[in-house]
Copies of this chain bind each other. A is one copy, B any other.
Amino acid sequence: MNLDKAFAYIDQNQKQLIDELVQFLRIPSISAHKDRDADVARALDYDKKKLESLGFKTEVWPTRAHNGLFAERMVSPDLPTVLIYGHVDVQPADPLDLWTSPPFEPRIADGRIWARGADDNKGQHYAQIAGVEATLKGAGELPVNVKFIIESDEEHDSEAMAMELEKHKDKLACDVFVVSDSNFPDRDHPAVTLSLRGVLAMEVTITGASGDKHSGEWGGMLYEPIDVLRHVLQNLKDFETGKVLVPGFYDDVDEPTPATRAAIAGRPWNDADKAKEQGVKRLFNEKGYTALESGTLRPTLQTNGIQGGYTGEGFKTVIGNKAMAKISTRLVPRQHPDKIFAAVEKRIRELVGDKGTVEIKKFGGGLPFWSDPESPYVQAGLRALTTAFGKPSVILAMGGSIPFVPHLVRVTGAPCVMMGFGLPDDNLHAPNESFPIDCFLGGAKAAAAYLAEVGAMAGAPGRK
């Protein structure tokens, strides 16, 4: 009954909620770009002011990088507490020339909001805030205590906030925490996501001669940094099988259980359709695993960027004296980014040997995380999604990383429910990111429904 009022509030206040998200998306809060620090702070303040307007007490938690935000509305110590996570920072937007409209000038078209961060993660966590608002204003009060923890460094230095969690352990106490930073597999299947891969990112720079050299004069006489780099890359991952070739890489890898593989296989998925959708002739898969498993339940290694020599207009016959690659690995339980970094770094140094000099820079890593499909909080999530979207919910595994989640699992000891509202074609981390308005408003309803579900669990026999 109260949920109906919350849903009605969302229906009646669509324009305001969308307008607020649009304002939020105008802020170019790129955490990886130093010159955007003020914008990142402004984005965090946007959430802070909004939550304060909803009667939340807020605290800004400084970190070694960008600040975090904590907010709470404690209704009663007898009620369960839901902790909701989000992040206000976004990925860089380049290459800008591939955007149809400017990334920080949100545009509404084709039932979607187009902007950097529209899905990841401003749109998704603002749906949670909208669900709280709707519950409060529609139904009068929240059926549970609600806390928010919002970070500003998810796309850049996610360790920064994680390092602060231990000291705020008491504040973060909760019965469940909810993350809306994942996808539905398609428009017809809302989903709870069971697992995340961990991540480890690094930058490798090979230096050769003391400067760029004429490739006519020196070609054949020098180890060329681009050659050394591609020699390194070809020895980090087998091109045919997809196996990572770094010794020790698979030592700590948990094989997915048959039950997990079966659950994942239950979602709607067709390799040929997916290939077509992505504009490729066929999908890749690690030898011995399906494409879907390769992209979710298996560790892998990507070269996210490469640059060396002359890449401008025309041709320049140089042997560039530097070549750089940005490399990341995706990890699964029990791999640890620090151990993997040591193994990869060792192997790269062996491969370069005396053929150049190598500099390796580590970026923040993230732990992998697998959840329990039998948890009542996960089951409540599936029900809330079905109630809000009127469609059957499914269970997914997620190939990406939310480095913060495993830390919050560790510090709170609470079960995690990943209940995201995005669609696969939202172009996360790419030009022309967007978020369907249906997903935003439906997400707000699912957020309200989840609070109702957990509130109902409070009175259930056996709790506390």
Q: Is the CB of B211 within 8 A of A280?
A: no
Q: Give Cα distance in the complex from A217 to B197, angstroms.
A: 9
State the copy count for this chain.
Answer: 2
Question: Which listed segment binds B: A134-142, A202-210, A447-455?
Answer: A202-210
| Given known contacts A219-B295, A226-B303, A328 and B311 CB-to-CB distance under 8 angstroms | no
Interface presence of A285 (CB below 8 A): yes
- Residues from chain B with a CB closer than 8 A to the CB of A281 are 354-355
- Residues from chain B with a CB closer than 8 A to the CB of A291 are 220-221
| Given known contacts A32-B316, A305-B311, A330 and B220 CB-to-CB distance under 8 angstroms | yes
| Given known contacts A221-B295, A303-B224, A315 and B363 CB-to-CB distance under 8 angstroms | yes
| Given known contacts A220-B298, A298-B220, A307-B307, A429 and B317 CB-to-CB distance under 8 angstroms | yes
CB distance from A446 to the nearest CB of B (A): 21
Residue of B217, B300, B427 near A428 (CB, 8 A) is: B217
| Given known contacts A306-B307, A317-B201, A213 and B430 CB-to-CB distance under 8 angstroms | yes
**Chain A, range 280-335, C-beta contacts under 8 Å to B:** 280-286, 291-292, 294-296, 298, 300-320, 323-324, 326, 328, 330
Interface presence of A123 (CB below 8 A): no
Interface presence of A461 (CB below 8 A): no
Q: Chain B residue with minimal CB distance to A354?
A: B281
Q: Is the CB of A315 within 8 A of B283?
A: no
- Residues from chain B with a CB closer than 8 A to the CB of A197 are 216
Q: Give Cα distance in the complex from A257 to B233, angstroms.
A: 38
Mask: chain A, 164-203; 1 = CB below 8 Å from B; 0 = not? 0000000000000000000100000000000001010101
- Residues from chain B with a CB closer than 8 A to the CB of A208 are 279-280
Interface presence of A5 (CB below 8 A): no
CB distance from A242 to the nearest CB of B (A): 6
Interface presence of A92 (CB below 8 A): yes
Q: Is the CB of A302 within 8 A of B328?
A: no
Q: Is the CB of B308 within 8 A of A305?
A: yes
Q: Is the CB of B304 within 8 A of A310?
A: yes
Q: Give Cα distance in the complex from A211 to B425, angstroms.
A: 11
Mask: chain A, 415-438; 1 = CB below 8 Å from B; 0 = not? 000000000100111111000000
CB distance from A36 to the nearest CB of B (A): 10
CB distance from A422 to the nearest CB of B (A): 10
Q: Give Cα distance in the complex from A366 to B91, angstroms.
A: 45
Interface presence of A278 (CB below 8 A): yes
| Given known contacts A220-B330, A326-B310, A429 and B33 CB-to-CB distance under 8 angstroms | no
Q: Give Cα distance in the complex from A308 to B203, angstroms.
A: 14
Q: Is the CB of A33 within 8 A of B314?
A: yes
CB distance from A229 to the nearest CB of B (A): 8
CB distance from A209 to the nearest CB of B (A): 4
CB distance from A332 to the nearest CB of B (A): 11
**Chain A, range 6-35, C-beta contacts under 8 Å to B:** 32-34
Residue of B239, B278, B298, B328 near A227 (CB, 8 A) is: B239
26 A-B residue pairs with Cβ-Cβ distance under 8 Å, sorted by A, are A33-B314, A92-B313, A92-B316, A94-B312, A209-B278, A211-B279, A214-B429, A214-B430, A215-B328, A215-B330, A217-B424, A219-B301, A220-B296, A222-B280, A222-B283, A226-B233, A231-B234, A304-B309, A305-B309, A305-B318, A306-B307, A306-B308, A310-B326, A314-B363, A317-B328, A317-B429
Per CB-CB distance, the 10 closest pairs between chain A and chain B, nearest first, are A216-B400, A32-B314, A210-B279, A305-B309, A221-B295, A220-B294, A220-B300, A212-B430, A230-B230, A307-B311
